[in-house]
């Protein structure tokens, strides 16, 4: 008999800590700490049976200035995810997805 484990989808909201309530819908922009309600899809990662869907809080100014196109900013977020959520995001090949 073969048993299949069900996949589990986990949605992560990544934001910068501010004085705002942690369960509120307005959080700090991940890059500049400006309070914002805007979220942007960042990436999905599969770790074992878990599917992580990662969203980041990005203010309109950071979106308009296209700060997420900067590879350095993406590496900072990937390092944060690896350190605090144990989600491997970096690879030996350059990241070409946006």
Does 2 fall in a domain? no
Least trusted range by pLDDT, from 2-11, 16-25, 27-36, 46-55: 2-11
Q: Which two tokens stand for residue 44?
A: 């999905």
Position 44 in a domain = yes
pLDDT at 86: 84
Q: How many domains does the chain fold into?
A: 1
Question: Is the residue at 97 inside a domain?
Answer: no
Provide the b/e sequence for 52-84 (b: ≥16 CB within 10 Å).
bebebbbbeebeeeebbeeeeebeebbeebeee
In a domain, 94, yes or no: no
pLDDT tens digits for 26-58?
A: 999 999 999 999 999 999 999 888 999 999 999
Confirm whether 1 is domain-assigned. no
Domain-located, residue 24: yes
SS3 percent helix, strand, coil of the chain, rounded to 5, is 25, 30, 45
pLDDT of res. 3: 52
Structural domain containing residue 29: 8-85
In a domain, 16, yes or no: yes
| pLDDT tens digits, one per residue of 82-94 | 998 888 887 644 4
| Contact (Cβ atoms closer than 8 angstroms) between residue 47 and residue 81 | no
């Amino acid at each position: 008999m073969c048993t299949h484990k069900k996949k589990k989808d986990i949605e992560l909201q990544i934001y910068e800590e501010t004085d705002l309530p942690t369960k509120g819908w307005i959080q700090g922009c991940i890059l500049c700490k400006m309070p914002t309600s805007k979220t942007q899809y960042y990436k999905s990662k599969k770790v074992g049976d878990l599917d992580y869907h990662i969203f980041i809080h990005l203010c309109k100014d950071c979106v308009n200035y296209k700060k997420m196109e900067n590879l350095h900013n993406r590496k900072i977020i990937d390092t944060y995810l690896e350190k605090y959520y144990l989600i491997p995001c970096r690879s030996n090949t350059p990241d070409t997805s946006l």
